Each structure stands twice: as structure tokens, then as C-alpha cells.
Chains A and B, each alone.
Chain A
Amino acid sequence: MHPARSLLAFTTLSGMGFGLLFWLGIDPTPPKGWAALVFFAIAYALCLGGLAASSLHLRRRERALRAFSQWRTSWLSREAWGALAALTVSGAYALPLLIGVGVLPLGWLAALLSLATVGATAMIYAQLRTVPRWHHWSTPALFLLLSLTGGALLSGRVLTCSLLLVASAALQAWVWWDGDLRFARSGTTLASATGLGDRGTARALFPPHTGSNYLLDEMVVVVGRRHAAKLRVIALVLMSGLPLVLLYLPPPHLFGLLALVSHAAGVLVSRWLFFAEAEHVVGLYYGRR
């Protein structure tokens, strides 16, 4: 699949933003006054920045509000509602905190809605049977785990964050290993795609068009996979390895910031691979994956 910059920025930034809103929401002793303002401002900047980036993916942005209409069937619509609800309830929780009043149940609801939003984003990908690498429970699991990790890092929870860094790295490594096997496991082949399988070995002889087209540019992008093995190592080091070391170096604020930058860059590389390595079954018709 084509790794669109809008979607890379959206899933990375909003994931961290909603993760931060989760931890702020369940904090029994939430920051108050100026500290609350700074934390919530960061969370909102990340969430809204990501959502703004995601709107760049739409070809007809002027109709974007229509995406709220189909929440009963569409995960994309549910994500839009989730984001709106999470940001609204978080705002309602944050405003009293600025003057030192914490309405904790409101925070819990905000935390739940934030996680639900990240889950809905992941389900947009996980629901697609056409992309076997994504069509798996581990897609929402990894999105949620990385969101929680980023949020814990942003909110300065060193021990929780360390555990989550290890857990998300382990899940990510397994997802890559298992993900490589999922296309074959899906059972979709050129034989089933053409129905010619029981007559012999089918192979694509020549394509229906000499140039490219939307399908190939969008769903059969193979160029991004060229350095996949190296990028996997880079992603793991930046996402988890380096932050695990940086978190324990003094002074905490400087190295905390470096850990955050490193983690965000690592998640971005991981998301690049999430799209670039995902093979859509339509590629079979073109004799590619």
C-alpha cells in the first residue's frame, strides 16, 4: 500500500496525542493550573495536528463533515465520532483542572474515548480482508500499545513507559515476523483470483494497460519495501532501544525530550513499513504483490 505522508503523520501524531489524553484522564493526581495547561495543550496539538494531516488524504475535503454520518457501519466514521467525543470530554475535564478542580470520572471517560478513537483508527486497517497483513487482531493491539507508550513517555511516567517500550517492541517484532506469513495464510492466490487454478499454473502474461493507474499507484507500491530489513532494525532502535537508555540519563528533561523525539521517529518508520510492506490482493491480477 502507498505510504501516504498524510496517513503517516496522522497515525503517529494522533496516536501519541490520544495516548497522552488517556494517561492524563486516569491520573489520580492530575496536573493542575499551568502544568495542566501545558500537558493538555501538547495533547491537543498532537491530536488536532494529526487529524488535520489526515484530512489532506481526502480528495474532496469540503465534504469532510459527511464522514460523521455512517457510524453504524463504517470504522472511519466511528473514528471521526471518537475523536470528536474524546477531545470534547477531555476539554471538559481539562478546563476545571486549570483552576485546580479535578472531576475524576470525567477524566476516566476521556481516557476511554481516547483509546476507543485509536482502536477505531486501527480497525479501519484491520477490517480489510484484502490486505492480509493488516487483517489481524494484532493491528489494533499494536496501535493501542504504541499509543499508550507514546502517551506514557509524554506524561513522564518513566517506569510505566519503560515496561511499555519493551512490550511494544516485542509485539512489533512478532507482528513483522508473523505478518510476513499472512498473505500465504489468507489463501488468496492468482489461481483463486482468476479461477484458472484447476487448469494448470497461471501466470500474468501482460498487463491491461501500458502505463500505471490508480490501483497500482495506491495498492501495489513495492518501491517502499526495498530497505525493509534495515528499516525494521532502525525502527526498533529508535522506537524502543534508544528511549530505554535515554530515559535513565540525567538531566531528565533534556534526555526525556530526546527519548520522545527518538520514539516518535521510530514509530514513524514503523508506520512507513506498516503501509509499504502491506500487500493488497489486487496486486495478484498484475502478477505482483
Chain B
Amino acid sequence: MTALPDRTDRRLGLVIDLDTCVGCHACVVACKGWNDQGYGAPLSDQDPYGAAPQGTFLNRVHSYEVTPASGPAQHVHFPKSCLHCEDAPCVPVCPTGASYKRAEDGIVLVNEDACIGCGLCAWACPYGARELDLAAGVMKKCTLCVDRIYNEALPEEDREPACVRTCPARARHFGDLSDPESAVSQLVAERGGIDLMPEQGTRPVNKYLPPRDRDGWGEDSDVLAPFLTPVAEEPQGFLGWLDRALGKL
């Protein structure tokens, strides 16, 4: 049924630290790798070695530049995957019931056997979290690695989403955001985690930790500057003659 659950027992999700993400795309590769084996249709590529390669990914890393009113511009790497919204707009639009949100942990999933590939859920998502797999003809989205997090065949440290497990900068955190005592909730409270596009009314579970303030270009921040001031303002010797000669022309 594509009605959203009134409430979910837990709210499993990710906390993504925009301050520490280095933009290495390891999470993108780990996600693609894990989701090529096991759960649902594998993520396909089209024309992978040709002139216009493209493929299905459940996680992508954008890059933005933020220019403050004063001071240096800042470069922010921005990983984006499904935010497992509490008020997920992609779920009620589904005509077949393939798209659903689990009442027990809040994960938004697609039953690929019931998906007709109409694409309406991807239209309804403001974040671009859903991609229709062009080979399988069904909608793909982040499963929060539902086949890892509850998988008792895996060592305990591997029971978290592939993107979180692989991140070398520890910029991705996984946990229950409905529990105020959980590590992820503490992190969100401490760092002022935010929702993406709050005006869309989706109430995303995933939170983003804003970048910390950088050192400015203030008086004493640049300790080398005094040693690098130019010693000769006027050109000397041959360059000086050239400068004067050209100036007289």
C-alpha cells in the first residue's frame, strides 16, 4: 500500500558531514559495487566504454562553491542519496504499490517486481534520489543497504551501509535519528544538522552537517605575507630601459 505509515518505530538514516567530505567518490563506488550484487536488479550502465557513457547510481557527489560576503570562497563536496523522508512524496504517487515506506525503521524501498517503470516517483522526488534503471526498466533507489544492516552473516562492523563503511574521511554516519541519545542524533544536535529543501515539506530523515567556518584573510592569519612584500616597485636594468623606452613611444 502506498499510504505512508502514520509513524515509524525508528528513523534510520544518514548524517553527512559537509565539513569533512573530501569528495573522493569512494561512497559512490562502494554503493554501486554493493548494489550490483544481491538486492534487486543490478545497477546497469549504458554505453560504458563508448562515446556517451551513463549509468544508474544511488549516490552521487556534487561540488559547490560558496562565496561569503567577505573572505575566501569555500569548496564544498556534497554527497546526495535518498533522504528517506518522513513525508516521502515519492511513495503516495506510486500507482502500483511498488514504492513503500517501512513502518518499522522508516526505510523507503521499491518492490521491483511490482514496478511498472512509469517514473512518476522520480518526478515527485525533489532531490533526484531515484533513477530508473534503463536495462531493468524498474526504479532504483538507495535501500540504506537493508541487506547489510540486518545481515547477521556479516561481521558486526560491516552491518552499516556500504557508503558509510567505506568513507575514508568518516564524513558519513549511520544510525537511528528518532533516538535522541543515538550518536547520530547527538552529532546533529552538536553541529546544527540541517534538512535539504525544507520548504518542500518532505521532512527528510537524513541530515547534513554544515561546513565549519574557515580561517579568514584577517590581519594575522597570513604569517608569511610580510616576508613576501615586493622589494623593488620600479623595474631596474634592461627591463627598466625597456619600460622607459616603451613609455616614450
Indicate if A205 sits at the interface (CB-CB under 8 A): yes
Indicate if B124 sits at the interface (CB-CB under 8 A): yes
Contact A70 B65 (CB under 8 A): no
How far does the Cβ of A151 sit from chain B's closest Cβ, in whole Å? 26
Residues of B within 8 A of A201 (CB): 66-67
How far does the Cβ of B65 sit from chain A's closest Cβ, in whole Å? 5
Number of interface residues of B (CB under 8 A): 66
Residues of A within 8 A of B57 (CB): 209, 213
Indicate if A129 sits at the interface (CB-CB under 8 A): yes
Residues of B within 8 A of A203 (CB): 64-65, 67
15 new A-B pairs (CB below 8 Å) besides A188-B126, A188-B200? A59-B119, A80-B95, A192-B198, A194-B64, A199-B68, A199-B210, A202-B64, A203-B65, A203-B67, A205-B63, A207-B62, A211-B52, A212-B52, A214-B122, A219-B123
Question: Which chain B residues have a beta carbon within 8 Å of chain A's beta carbons?
Answer: 1-3, 18, 25, 28, 52-57, 60-69, 73-76, 78, 80, 89, 92-98, 114-120, 122-128, 131-132, 134, 137-138, 194-201, 208, 210-211
Indicate if A29 sits at the interface (CB-CB under 8 A): no
Contact A66 B97 (CB under 8 A): yes
Question: Which chain A residues have a beta carbon within 8 Å of chain B's beta carbons?
Answer: 1, 57-61, 63-64, 66-70, 72-77, 80, 124, 127-131, 186-188, 190, 192-196, 199-209, 211-215, 218-219, 280-282, 285-286
Q: A129-B89, A196-B66 are in contact. Are A76 and B128 (CB under 8 A)?
A: no
Nearest 7 A/B pairs, CB to CB: A59-B117, A59-B137, A200-B68, A208-B60, A282-B128, A76-B95, A66-B96
Q: A67-B116, A203-B64 are in contact. Are A215 and B131 (CB under 8 A)?
A: yes
Contact B66 A200 (CB under 8 A): yes
- Give Cα A59 to B200, complex, Å: 28
Q: A74-B93, A129-B89 are in contact. Are A204 and B62 (CB under 8 A)?
A: yes
Which one of B61, B78, B197 has the greatest number of beta carbons of chain A within 10 Å? B197
Contact B128 A285 (CB under 8 A): yes
How far does the Cβ of B6 sit from chain A's closest Cβ, in whole Å? 14
How far does the Cβ of B142 sit from chain A's closest Cβ, in whole Å? 14
Q: A70-B96, A74-B92, A281-B126 are in contact. Are A58 and B131 (CB under 8 A)?
A: no
Contact B196 A195 (CB under 8 A): yes
Residues of A within 8 A of B211 (CB): 196, 199
Contact B196 A58 (CB under 8 A): no
Residue from A63, A77, A131, A187 in contact with B123 in the complex, judged by beta carbons closer than 8 Å = A131
